[in-house]
Amino acid sequence: MKKRIFILLGLVFLGLPLTACQANSTDGQSITAVGSSALQPLVEAVGEDYTEANSGNFINVQGGGTGTGLSQIQEGAVDIGNSDLYAEQKKGIDAKKLTDHKVAVVGITPVINKSLKINNLTTKQLIGIFTGEITNWQQIGGPNVPVVVINRAQGSGTRVTFERWALENRTVLQTQEQDSTGMVRQIVASTPGAISYMAFAYVDNSIKTISIDGVQPTNKNVQSDKWKIWSYEHMYTKGEPTGLTKTFINHMLSDDVQNNIVSKLGYIPINQMEVTRHLNDELQVSK
């Protein structure tokens, strides 16, 4: 009789750790997400939100640009590769080995130094500025101040999106480049005549946005596709995600996060878009 009791108790105790482990399978884990600087503020905010509610887990978020995010996830060096682009848009990336998770939409806008009394540019004028045909703001009705173009670095998804949808795939002027969106904002704010571009989420009152062809850079105009300069924000995994990676991405896509944190930070929830942009739209070369 005693032997039977001991056996039963043993089975119970053996079962308890297994059940606890299954119930808290992500406890004590950490993951790393690297890549898009346009997406970085959102992933950081959602990461903090998640870890506050799930003590013991850690979401490490780093920038570096879309190119870095895609190459790092392809190599298996990180858990999530953040990207402003479809993986198929980046040379050297085998998209078939990656799984795409679209988590938001971000608008991208030209920004200028606040001292410039310019509120609107035509697409032709914008292209002229970034290709070097327009070198002084006086040429388009502004002050007699040289144009100072600040570009994002090669590999930036924001740059690719801006060149595709704002500049109609024109070759941009070779000028100073910056990896960090925060540094771009700082340079534009402190340099008379400066112009660059960035995600809506980075715009503050130290710089000024401008309309293009009379259309203002607002989330409402992005949702209807009146404002063309926008991109999906992707979180790529190598194959299907598991463990904390899967749990965190599910949290990112939850109604609570999409309806609150995503909107609050200036991004657009996927389900609020009135249009769909496919890979072929991104790859199409303007005539």
Q: What is the pLDDT of residue 26?
A: 59
Q: pLDDT (tens digit, 9 = 90+) per residue, 248-263?
A: 999 999 999 999 999 9
Among 179, 146, 169, residue whose Cα is nearest residue 40: 179
Does some domain include residue 38?
yes
Q: Are residues 51 and 95 in the same domain?
A: yes
Q: Are strands 177-178 and 151-152 parallel, antiparallel or unpaired?
A: parallel
In this structure, of 18-22, 103-107, 176-180, 188-192, the range with the lowest mean pLDDT score is 18-22
**Predicted confidence (pLDDT) at residue 17 exceeds the cutoff of 90:** no
Q: Structure tokens of 34?
A: 């690297």
Q: Are 225 and 215 in contact (CB under 8 A)?
A: no
**Between the ranges 12-16, 29-33, 175-179, 282-286, where is the mean pLDDT highest?**
29-33
Question: Does the pLDDT at position 18 exceed 50?
Answer: no
Please state the domain count of the chain. 2
Query: Of the residues 172, 205, 223, which one is the last residue of a structural domain?
Result: 223
pLDDT, the chain, mean: 89
- Determine the Cα–Cα distance for residues 198 and 159; give it in Å rounded to an integer: 9
If asked whether residues 96 and 234 sit together in one domain, one would say: yes
112 in the same domain as 102: no
CA nearest to 236, candidates 38, 70, 84: 70
- HSE-up (13 A, CA, CB side) for residue 129: 30
Average pLDDT (19-45) is 77
Write down the pLDDT at residue 265: 93
The reported pLDDT for the residue numbered 240 is: 97
Whether 88 and 174 map to the same domain: the answer is no
209-212-213-216 Cα dihedral, nearest 10 degrees = -50
Q: Note whether residue 163 is domain-resident.
A: yes
Domain boundary among 200, 223, 246: 223
For residue 8, the model assigns a pLDDT of: 39
What pLDDT does residue 27 have?
67
What does pTM read for this prediction? Answer: 0.85
pLDDT the model gives residue 202: 92
Q: 20 pLDDT exceeds 70?
A: no
pLDDT band at 140 (very low <50, low <70, confident <90, very high): very high
Question: Exposed, middle or buried, 76 (CB in 10 Å: 0-12/13-18/19+)?
Answer: exposed
Average pLDDT over residues 79-86: 97
> Residue 6: enclosing H or E segment and its boundaries?
helix 2-23
199 and 243 in a single domain? The answer is no
As given in the structure block, the two tokens for residue 137 are 């703001």
Identify the pLDDT of residue 43.
97
Which pLDDT score is estimated for 283? 82
* Mean pLDDT score, 202-229: 97
> Is it the case that residue 129 has pLDDT exceeding 70?
yes
Amino acid letter, residue 95: A
For range 141-148, the mean pLDDT: 96
Domain containing 213 — which CATH number? 3.40.190.10
Residue 96 tokens, joined: 């078939």
CB-CB neighbours of 95 under 10 Å: 16
**Residue pair 274/105 in contact by the 8 Å Cβ criterion:** no
Closest CA to 113 of 200, 25, 206: 206
User: Residue 248 domain-assigned?
Assistant: yes
If one counts every other C-beta atom within 10 angstroms of the C-beta of residue 204, the result is 9
The answer to the question of residue 23 being in a domain is no
How many CB atoms are closer than 10 A to CB 267? 27
Whether residue 4 has pLDDT greater than 60: no
Residue 10 lies in a domain: no
pLDDT at 214 over 50: yes
Higher pLDDT, 126 or 280: 126
If you average pLDDT over residues 219-231, what whole number do you get? Answer: 96
CB-CB contact of 166 with 210 (8 Å): no
* Domain around 198: 107-223
Looking at the structure, do residues 164 and 127 belong to the same domain, yes or no?
A: yes
What span, in angstroms and rounded, lies between the C-alpha atoms of 175 and 178?
Answer: 10
